Amino acid sequence: MGLKSLVEDRIATHKANEKLIPPDLIQGDKVTHSQPAIIPAGNYLEGVGAAAGKATGTARLINHPGEGNKLQPGEVLVTPSTDPGWTPLFLKACAVIMETGGYISHGAIIAREYGIPTVINVPGVMKVIQDGQIVTVDGDEGRVILQ
């Protein structure tokens, strides 16, 4: 296999791996995926309120901080999770929604420090909310209201 073929193979493998949904828990050989988000009759998603307040805005689905240029000031940042590389995006967001995380996760702490309403631990939110959809983030009740 020549170098060009090797590079093309690795690029194809990388693209295929980007489409995989990582498990929530790996314990030995057992892999556990969370259940997809379920929309109750009230048209909202339940999560954990990690930072108080309410904000309504356009949802912007961001999978990686490198896509941060898609997020405009005053929009709602919707993401699988965050780490310190995401911090600059919090300066633009009016609210944050994350698929995973806890009270002491990076995103929750930064949201509280910046006073940004945030709901975390909303399994499947990246598939339920459409990019550009208007949503209300209620960090007091731990709800994401879909409009």
Rounded to an integer, the average pLDDT of 117-121 is 96
- The confidence score (pLDDT) of residue 30 equals 75
Q: Has residue 41 got a pLDDT over 80?
A: no
Q: What percent of the chain has pLDDT over 90?
A: 72
Between 38 and 77, the higher pLDDT residue: 77
pTM (predicted TM-score)? 0.80
Give dist(CA 57, CA 79) in Å, integer.
15
How would you write the chain as a 3-class SS string? CCHHHHHHHHHHHHHHHHCCCCCCEEECCEEECCCCCCCCCCCEEECEEEECCEEEEEEEECCCHHHHHHCCCCCEEEECCCCHHHHHHHCCCCEEEECCCCCCCHHHHHHHHHCCCEEECCCCHHHHCCCCCEEEEECCCCEEEEC
Report whether pLDDT(34) > 70.
no
- What integer is the mean pLDDT of 64-77? 96
**Share of residues in the chain with pLDDT > 70 (%):** 88
Query: Can you give the pLDDT at residue 107?
Result: 95
77 φ/ψ angles, rounded to the nearest 5 degrees: -80, 120
Of 14, 33, 64, 106, the catalytic one is 106
Query: What residue spans define the domains of the chain?
Result: 34-146
Domain topology for 34-146: Glucose Oxidase; domain 1 (3.50.30)
What b/e string do you get for 99-117 counting C-beta neighbours within 10 Å, with b at 16 or more? bbbeeebbbbbbbeeeebb
Q: What is the mean pLDDT of residues 70-76?
A: 97
- For residue 25, pLDDT over 70 is answered with no
Instruction: Tell me the pLDDT band of 7, cut-offs 50, 70 and 90.
Output: very high
64 noted as active-site residue: no
